[in-house]
């Protein structure tokens, strides 16, 4: 009886070690639910800006503050990062580890450039006396754009973490699933930023 028990134990241990305790379907469903909650957050922020976006408190308007050329360059940085992330996913499908890491690195560089330009814009506005406390318009602007910037910051940290994991463990199924989740998150941020560019910047200046 004892010998039989010892003979079966390694098989049982191996079963529990190799069992996938995080099925891909449940992971993706959970991440979709998270993205939906983020959609609600940004929907509230867009609605708040729509209500407060014309309350200048005798202060500067969007036409007085925004440099559409700079914002267009910043938008291009984020859109390019989405394209390069797509290249990384294509290389992942080819199981090309080095190429995947290269395009992930390029994506991170574009993300950092985007954040740098956004911080420069915030600094420039505050130096001109157009800080978040100047008017309701500027309060809603800083909260909306700043929240998006925080998401991009989180995305870059996540990206670097995944690059380390891919470097150490390769393109295993877990890392592929994580890269897919980050891909959805990154493209989601692109869609939100297109809304920010159109509603906050473009309509603010033209309107």
Report DSSP state, residue 22: S
Residue 8 belongs to a domain:
no
What domain count does the chain have?
A: 1
Domain annotation covers residue 1: no
- pLDDT per residue as tens digits for the range 52-87: 988 998 889 999 999 999 999 999 999 999 999 999
80 token code pair? 């390019």
**How much of the chain, in percent, has pLDDT values that exceed 70?**
87
Is 4 within a domain? Answer: no
Enclosing domain of residue 174: 24-206
Provide the pLDDT confidence category of residue 25 given band limits of 50, 70 and 90: low
Q: Report the chain's terminal Cα–Cα distance, integer Å.
A: 84
17 lies in some domain: no
In a domain, 11, yes or no: no
Which residue has 């574009």 as its token pair?
Answer: 110
How far does CA 21 lie from the centroid of its chain?
Answer: 26
The CATH code of the domain that includes 144 is 1.20.120.80
Q: What is the mean pLDDT of residues 13-35?
A: 63
Q: What are the distances in angstroms from CA 200 to CA 47, 74, 173, 186, 195?
A: 11, 14, 40, 20, 8
- The per-residue pLDDT for 13 is 41
Q: Is residue 120 part of a domain?
A: yes
The string of pLDDT tens digits covering residues 141-176 is 999 999 999 999 999 999 999 999 999 999 999 999
70 by Cβ neighbours in 10 Å (0-12 / 13-18 / 19+) ranks as middle
Surface-to-core class of residue 64, CB atoms within 10 Å of its CB (0-12 exposed, 13-18 middle, 19+ buried): exposed
> Is residue 183 predicted with pLDDT exceeding 60?
yes
């Amino acid at each position: 009886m004892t010998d039989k028990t010892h003979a079966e134990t390694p098989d049982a241990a191996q079963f529990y070690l190799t069992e996938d305790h995080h099925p891909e379907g449940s992971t993706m469903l959970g991440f979709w639910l998270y993205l939906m909650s983020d959609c609600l957050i940004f929907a509230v922020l867009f609605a708040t800006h729509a209500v407060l976006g014309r309350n200048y408190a005798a202060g500067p308007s969007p036409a007085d503050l925004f440099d559409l050329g700079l914002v267009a360059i910043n938008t291009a940085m984020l859109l390019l990062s989405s394209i390069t992330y797509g290249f990384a996913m294509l290389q992942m499908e080819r199981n090309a580890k080095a190429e995947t890491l290269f395009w992930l690195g390029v994506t991170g560089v574009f993300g950092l450039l985007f954040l740098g330009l956004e911080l420069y814009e915030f600094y420039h506005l505050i130096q001109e006396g157009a800080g978040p406390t100047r008017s309701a318009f500027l309060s809603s602007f800083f909260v909306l754009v700043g929240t998006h910037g925080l998401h991009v910051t989180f995305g870059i940290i996540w990206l670097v973490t995944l690059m380390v994991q891919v470097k150490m463990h390769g393109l295993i199924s877990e890392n592929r699933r994580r890269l897919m989740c980050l891909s959805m998150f990154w493209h989601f941020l692109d869609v939100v930023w297109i809304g920010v560019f159109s509603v906050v910047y473009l309509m603010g200046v033209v309107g």
